Structure formats: C-alpha cells, structure tokens
Amino acid sequence: MNSNIPGDGKFDQSVFNTDVDIPVGRIDFFNMPLFKSSETDLLKNYFKKNHDYRTGAWSVRAGGIIDDNFTSYPEAFSASAWRGFSVFGPDTAVRAGDFFTDLKGPTTYLLGYGCGAGTDVSAGGVGSTTDMSTKPVHAVFTFLFGSYFGDWNTQNNFLRAPLATDPRVLTSAWSGRPHWYIHHMALGETIGYSARLSQNSSQIYSGGVLGNYVQVININADGSYALTGGLERQIHIALLGDPTLRSNPKQIAALGTLTAKTEFPNKVKLSWIKPSGTADAYMVYRRKEGTKKWTALTTRPITATSYQDSLRNDGTLEYMVRCCALLSSASGTYYDMGRGARASVLTTHVTDDVETGASVLATIAPNPATDVINVEFALALPGTTVVDLVDVTGRTVASFDAGSLAAGTHQTSFDVSTLPPGTYTLSVKGGGESTTVPVMVVR
C-alpha cells in the first residue's frame, strides 16, 4: 500500500498467508464524485450492463486493445495482455492502440489494457478518471497498470472508474506487478477462477519451491537471465467486478419442464422435451430433500430425453436435468452447461435391484491420448462383449465387437488420431455387466 495506517484493520496484511480458496470480486462505487450518477444509480447501471452481457445483448469481438506507455521497462508490464489476450481470437484480433480512441465503439472488444505512469486518478498516456466519466469504453474485461491507483480505496480511483463507465466495462484489475493469467477463460472458466490463480501464483523457482507460472524474466547487467517475483501473492492483487463472468456468455438451452414419476417396485422415470436452442446432450442429477449436494446419475452426457433411476429411498427425492453443448474458441473446444430443470417425487419403501456381485473392470493407457488408446478389461462372467468409444453427444465413434469371451482379462485398442480433441467415454459391456471410463483426446 502507498498509504496505510498500521493496525486500522485495512490492508495490514501484505501477503496472502495461504492460498486464496474462493474467487472474490468487489463492485464499489463509493466516493466517485466525478461521475454524475449517485452510488446507487451506478450500481444499478452496472447490474443492467451485467445482465445485458449475460443475455447476449452485446455483440463482442474476441480480441483486445493494448495501450502500453511503459515500453522502455524491461519488466514488460503489458506482456500479460499480449500473452493473455491472444488465446481468445485470431492473431489480428489483438493489437496495440489507444485506450479511449480505439475503445470508443461501436465495436465492443472483449478485452482492454492500459499502462502508464500513475496517480490515484490517472495513468500517463492512457487517461484519467475524468476521461472515464465522460468517454465511452467498449471493452468487457479491462486491465490497468501504473503507480498509486492500484490502491483502489481512494476518491475517484482510476482502477475502480472503468466499472462506472458507459456502456460496457464489467471488470477491472491491476496487471503488471504481478502479471495476471486469464487463458483459462478461453476454455470456459470465469474471470474469478483466473483471478484466484493469479493471486496464488508464485515464481517458477524460488527457495527450492516450484510455482505455477513464469512471472517476470529480467536481463541482468552481465547478460544473464533471472526469474523475478513481480510482487506475487500480495494483497493488492484484486478483482474489481463480478467474478462469475465468462468470456463466452452464450446461453446453453434450459429445459422447460421435467417430469418425474415412480414406476414400482423400484424405479423413477424422468422425461423431458428437447428444448430449442443450443443443446447437444443432457446430464441427470439427484438429491434427497433437504440435502444441498447433487449427485450425478449419468457418468457422461446422454442424448435420450428420458432416464430411469433405480434406488433405495423412503421420502422425497429431487431430480435435475441440465443441457450441455460443445463450444469452441481459438484455444480449442469445451463443454458448457445450461440451467437445470427440476422435479420432485415421493418414494415409499423403494429398494435397490439385487446385486449379482459380478462386475466389469477397464483401464486405458495412455490417457490423455493423441494416437492410440490401449484398453484392458476384465470380465467376472463369460458372455458376449462389446467395447464402444462414445463422444459427448452419445454417438459411437469406434467399436469392437468381441463376440463371446471367457471370464478373465482381455485387450483391444482404438486409433484416435483422427478424432477431434475432447472428452470421450469408453463403454465395456460383457457378462451381463458394464462399465464406463472417461477418455481424453488431445492434440
């Protein structure tokens, strides 16, 4: 802190004693008189912007503008922006520019960065809080760096100012000492997830302890290289804005109605109608009434629009079905999920199916795989056996019909070199039993 009173309960701690466990973001418009709106109205406007972004009202370009006014510094403060922004879109989507000129619209960029010699209310070459209060900023996630304004509890603070702007900004952070790492967001994680890992990041090697990411590489006077800390794990590393926001606000479809009914003696039948919108498959969950934690009943997404549950329970059960869809970015593909539809059913004296004691075991190597997966499976009982490799939509992409096999251990393999990267499921059915194992294909 540039200004602190020891013992006043604010910022007395310089570093995190332990890893940050929960992503936290601060939305604070107190003491910002340069903005004409009241603190309450600024907060209302922020929530409206947040809602508009989440519901797809904004057209956002997957790129960013970087305004670097510290080019002579060997620490390369803007490196985190060049490195982090590039994972969201094509190379041409990230470029050097002027913060206010190039983010004035009408194009809204996903990201914006500016650094320069700072005061509480400005960054040299970037602008000031007065600019923030009078000029539009068309970026969703912003990062700023400069002296003093990283202490965001000051009047008209420059780091807090972006959240009060119109019409777009939703987050702000001080990035340069240390760098922030946001590449996780390109594959579906939240800004809060990236904030927490940036807060917990250490030097790659310091005092015999391995860290998470490369921080800063300095070139010494003798030409040697040194990894430096860059103020990592200190309390000034903070996210201003909603920590649950993501880089792709695309809404995954939600089910309209979920129906649940008992089918005696020991079944519950769930059924639903495929919704319009983005939905490739479904996941099914269950919990007892009064329990907070949901248990996944499906080991992988299913494409059917019904599910039958077998259970032991006496009382009310809650079920939830969520749609999932395969999304893509410049960094790859990932699966996202929509809001769940719920239904409850009262069960009385429901018992499990009788267990036979038989089982099927399967192992896969390597996993993750790039070219070939080797499968070893063990049957407790003899019988007709089929081994399938299934994608997230339930489509079988490879299959081995082994015919009738004796009890014991068997092997097969699949060529996955032509499959798109992602998560698949290996299914082994034999001897009247079955098992599934997740498989990751990478490139």
- Domain presence at residue 108: yes
pLDDT-derived band at 149, boundaries 50, 70, 90: very high
- Domain presence at residue 434: yes
Domain end position, chosen among 304, 332, 350 = 350
pLDDT at 206 over 50: no
Q: How do residues 399-443 score in pLDDT, each as one tens digit?
A: 999 999 998 889 999 999 999 888 888 889 887 788 888 888 887
Segment 191-207 mean pLDDT:
78
Q: What is the CATH number of the domain that holds 116?
A: 3.40.50
Question: Are both 336 and 387 inside the same structural domain?
Answer: no
- Domain presence at residue 16: no
pLDDT at 127 over 60: yes
Q: Which residue has the higher pLDDT, 313 or 296?
A: 296
Name the residue among 168, 183, 334 with its Cα closest to residue 250: 334
- Domain presence at residue 11: no
pLDDT of residue 358: 42
Question: Are the CB atoms for 174 and 145 separated by under 8 Å?
Answer: yes
Least confident window among 12-26, 177-191, 194-208, 223-237: 223-237
Question: Are both 43 and 155 inside the same structural domain?
Answer: yes
Segment 122-138 mean pLDDT:
97
Average pLDDT score over the chain:
86
Question: Are the CB atoms for 180 and 173 separated by under 8 Å?
Answer: yes
Which positions ≥6 away from 221 have C-beta within 8 Å? none
pLDDT at 327 over 60: yes
Question: Are both 339 and 275 inside the same structural domain?
Answer: yes
Question: Are both 93 and 237 inside the same structural domain?
Answer: yes
C-alpha to C-alpha distance for 214 and 204, rounded to whole angstroms: 5
DSSP class of residue 97?
-
Name the residue among 434, 427, 400 with its Cα closest to residue 414: 400
The distance between the two most distant Cα atoms of the chain, rounded to a whole number of Å, is: 80
CA distances, 92 to each of 85, 96, 107, 367 (Å) = 11, 11, 15, 35
Question: Are both 402 and 305 inside the same structural domain?
Answer: no
pLDDT-derived band at 35, boundaries 50, 70, 90: very high
Q: What is the CATH number of the domain that holds 274?
A: 2.60.40.10
C-alpha to C-alpha distance for 199 and 238, rounded to whole angstroms: 8
Question: Are both 312 and 401 inside the same structural domain?
Answer: no
Total structural domains within the chain: 3
Q: How do residues 60-103 score in pLDDT, each as one tens digit?
A: 999 999 999 999 888 889 998 999 999 998 878 899 999 999 99
- Domain presence at residue 54: yes
Question: Are both 334 and 383 inside the same structural domain?
Answer: no
Residue type (1 letter), 260: A
What kind and span of H or E run contains 286? strand 281-288
Q: What is the CATH number of the domain that holds 373?
A: 2.60.40.1930
Segment 17-31 mean pLDDT:
93
- Domain presence at residue 3: no
CA distances, 235 to each of 151, 225, 241 (Å) = 10, 27, 17
- Residue matched to tokens 């907070």: 292
Residue type (1 letter), 388: D
pLDDT at 225 over 70: no
Question: Are both 185 and 302 inside the same structural domain?
Answer: no
- Domain presence at residue 336: yes
pLDDT of residue 232: 79
DSSP class of residue 234?
B
Global pTM value? 0.71
pLDDT-derived band at 223, boundaries 50, 70, 90: low
Q: How many CA atoms lie within 13 A of 78 on its CB side?
A: 23
pLDDT-derived band at 156, boundaries 50, 70, 90: very high
Question: Are both 381 and 319 inside the same structural domain?
Answer: no
- Domain presence at residue 250: no
Q: How do residues 241-300 score in pLDDT, each as one tens digit?
A: 999 999 998 888 888 889 998 876 678 899 999 888 888 889 999 998 888 899 988 877
- Residue matched to tokens 């903070």: 238
Question: Are both 318 and 293 inside the same structural domain?
Answer: yes
C-alpha to C-alpha distance for 253 and 9, rounded to whole angstroms: 46
Q: What residues make up the domain containing 187?
A: 25-241
Question: Are both 415 and 336 inside the same structural domain?
Answer: no
Question: Are both 380 and 315 inside the same structural domain?
Answer: no
